[in-house]
């Protein structure tokens, strides 16, 4: 039915107990390498260039700082850097919104007192009222996700829609996590028809989170696991891409109903910092809407089989 072996981490992969200075260095160097002089209005010059992308002194000129100062920044030392310099760097390196936020998070971490550099406390259990909100969305698959891409809670339709993700988590004894599933379960490439896009998105989200919480041990453990077990993850991690997800279209291939093309919306929860509510929907009358109805019926059937008929 159609409804529309352990390898050593490569350079640039996540280091256990992430070295924040290395992250700064690699991020700035990667953004510099993707730009050519003509991209930023500088003369291309003649002859072969010794570096890929811009030279450090060219970035310094564009940012209005000395070459020595920029070299210090690219060595990973953001201590004491001002907002105006961060803005100038963002302009010079043509950073987008997500990259600018990442740079500021890295600077904030660099200036954080050592006594505050500890892993965040484990998230508290999902409040019962939030679970009721999720459960009340009977025709909209919705779930709560943290910044490490753990699925903290999901309504019946979201669990049915993401059945392969939950099966993999149960099989491995881990929390349902979309990044772990995408990279470590061979069926992930089938579940996500646009696996290349999805996998890049997963890595970009985790990279942004690492910039915000570089001392988060749970995040370090997750990325260390993925770096060790997945060459694809290591390769993408070395790109240092970051991204902000708000809305878009995602295709999923469900084993029971085939391919669904669903709109998704991402909402931040004010009362739960770092937790996102992600909801999928389909326009009425579309094949995807019909598939969601079938999945809702399947979810009800599976619930009845598990708990017995309601009275």
Angle at 75 between CA 70 and CA 81, to 5 degrees: 55
Q: How confident is the model at residue 9 (pLDDT cuts 50, 70, 90)?
A: very low
**Mean model confidence pLDDT for the chain:** 86
What number of other Cβ atoms are within 10 A of residue 103's Cβ?
24
Say what the pLDDT of residue 122 is: 59
Cite the residue boundaries of each domain of the chain with CATH code 3.30.450.180.
Answer: 128-307
The domain made up of 128-307 is a member of CATH 3.40.640.10 = no
Q: Who's near 263: CB < 8 A, 6+ residues apart?
A: 247, 248, 249, 280, 281, 282, 283
pLDDT, greater one: 92 or 18:
92
22-44 residue pLDDT tens: 889 999 999 999 998 888 888 87
CATH architecture of 20-116: Orthogonal Bundle (1.10)
Say what the pLDDT of residue 303 is: 75
How far is it, in rounded angstroms, from Cα 228 to Cα 7?
6
46-70 residue pLDDT tens: 556 777 889 999 999 999 999 999 9
Cite the residue boundaries of each domain of the chain with CATH code 1.10.260.
Answer: 20-116
Task: Identify any residues that bridge with 253 across adjacent strands, giving them in sequence order.
Answer: 259
80-127 residue pLDDT tens: 999 999 999 999 999 999 999 999 999 988 887 655 555 555 555 788
Say what the pLDDT of residue 110 is: 84
DSSP 187-224: THHHH-TTHHHHHHHHHHHHHHHHHH-TT-HHHHHHHH
Helix (H) / strand (E) element for 63: namely helix 56-63
121-157 residue pLDDT tens: 555 578 888 899 999 998 899 999 998 999 999 999 9
Say what the pLDDT of residue 30 is: 94
Say what the pLDDT of residue 104 is: 94
- The SS3 of residue 49 is coil
Share of the chain above pLDDT 90, in %: 65
> Angle of helix 67-74 relative to helix 56-63, nearest 10 degrees?
110
How far is it, in rounded angstroms, from Cα 175 to Cα 165?
10
Q: What is the mean pLDDT of residues 70-87?
A: 93
Helix (H) / strand (E) element for 77: namely none
3-class DSSP string for 115-169:
HHCCCCCCCCCCCHHHHHHHHHCCCCCEEEECCCCEEEEECHHHHHHCHHHHHHH
Say what the pLDDT of residue 138 is: 87
Q: How confident is the model at residue 12 (pLDDT cuts 50, 70, 90)?
A: very low
pLDDT, greater one: 309 or 1:
309
Report CA torsion sign: 16, 51, 104, 238.
negative
Say what the pLDDT of residue 215 is: 82
């Amino acid at each position: 039915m159609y409804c529309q072996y352990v390898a050593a981490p490569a350079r640039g992969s996540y280091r256990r107990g992430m070295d924040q200075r290395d992250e700064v260095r690699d991020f700035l160097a990667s953004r510099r390498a993707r730009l050519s002089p003509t991209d930023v209005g500088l003369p291309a010059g003649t002859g072969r260039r010794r570096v890929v992308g811009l030279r450090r002194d060219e970035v310094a000129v564009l940012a209005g700082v000395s070459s020595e100062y920029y070299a210090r920044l690219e060595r990973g030392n953001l201590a004491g850097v001002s907002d105006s310099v961060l803005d100038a760097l963002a302009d010079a390196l043509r950073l987008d919104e997500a990259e600018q936020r990442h740079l500021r998070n890295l600077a904030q971490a660099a200036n954080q007192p050592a006594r505050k550099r500890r892993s965040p406390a484990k998230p508290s259990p999902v409040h019962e009222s939030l679970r009721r909100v999720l459960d009340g969305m009977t025709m909209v698959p919705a779930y709560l996700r943290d910044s490490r891409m753990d699925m903290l809670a999901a309504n019946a339709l979201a669990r049915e829609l993401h059945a392969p993700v939950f099966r993999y988590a149960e099989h491995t004894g881990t929390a349902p996590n979309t990044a772990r599933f995408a990279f470590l379960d061979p069926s992930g490439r089938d579940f996500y028809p646009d696996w290349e896009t999805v996998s890049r998105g997963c890595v970009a989200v985790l990279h942004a989170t690492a910039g915000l919480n570089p001392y988060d041990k749970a995040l370090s453990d997750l990325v260390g696991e993925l770096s060790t077990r997945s060459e694809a993850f290591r390769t993408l991690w070395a790109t240092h891409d970051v991204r902000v997800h708000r809305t878009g279209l995602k295709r999923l291939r469900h084993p029971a109903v085939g391919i669904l093309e669903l709109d998704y919306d991402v909402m931040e929860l004010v009362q739960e910092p770092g937790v996102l509510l992600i909801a999928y929907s389909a326009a009425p009358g579309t094949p995807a809407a019909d598939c969601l109805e079938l999945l809702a019926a399947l979810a009800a059937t599976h619930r009845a089989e598990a708990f017995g008929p309601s009275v």
